């Protein structure tokens, strides 16, 4: 009964519906939750690291060039990890924000 209750409780949130299979045995629930928790923890850790890298880029840009335009801050927040790392590499040699992002990127 407990596995059914857990599944029903988690199913109240729409985003969990595709993640949770039918579970009838407590052991199945234990295995499934262990796998999901590991996936979720890994996902949150990666997103947190990406945010820290984006914040480091923004801090370097402000220290180097002054005020960061809001549209550029939004551009950085929406960027991939690879784009942010490319921009970080460019910051040290850049003479302007345009040298970091290019003339059409912001």
- pLDDT tens for residues 12-44? 665 555 455 555 566 666 676 777 777 766 666
How does pLDDT run across 57-73, given as a tens digit for each residue?
A: 999 999 999 988 889 98
Residue 2 has pLDDT above 70, yes or no: no
Neighbours of 36 (CB within 10 A): 14
Q: How far is CA 71 from CA 12, 29, 54, in A?
A: 37, 45, 14
| Residue span of the structural domain in which 9 resides | 2-101
Pair of tokens at residue 98: 């345009």
Domain assignment of residue 106, yes or no: no
Give this prediction's pTM. 0.55
In a domain, 48, yes or no: yes
Share of the chain above pLDDT 70, in %: 60
**Does 11 map to a domain?**
yes
Q: Is residue 96 part of a domain?
A: yes
Tally of domains in the chain:
1
Residue 74 lies in a domain: yes
pLDDT reported for residue 51: 85
């Amino acid at each position: 009964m407990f596995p059914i209750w857990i599944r029903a409780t988690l199913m109240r949130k729409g985003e969990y519906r595709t993640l949770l299979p039918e579970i009838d045995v407590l052991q199945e629930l234990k295995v499934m939750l262990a796998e999901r928790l590991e996936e979720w923890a890994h996902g949150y850790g990666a997103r947190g690291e990406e945010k820290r890298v984006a914040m480091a880029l923004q801090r370097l840009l402000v220290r180097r060039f002054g005020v960061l335009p809001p549209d550029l801050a939004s551009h950085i927040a929406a960027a991939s990890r690879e784009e942010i790392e490319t921009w970080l590499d460019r910051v040290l040699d850049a003479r302007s924000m345009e040298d970091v992002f290019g003339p059409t990127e912001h």
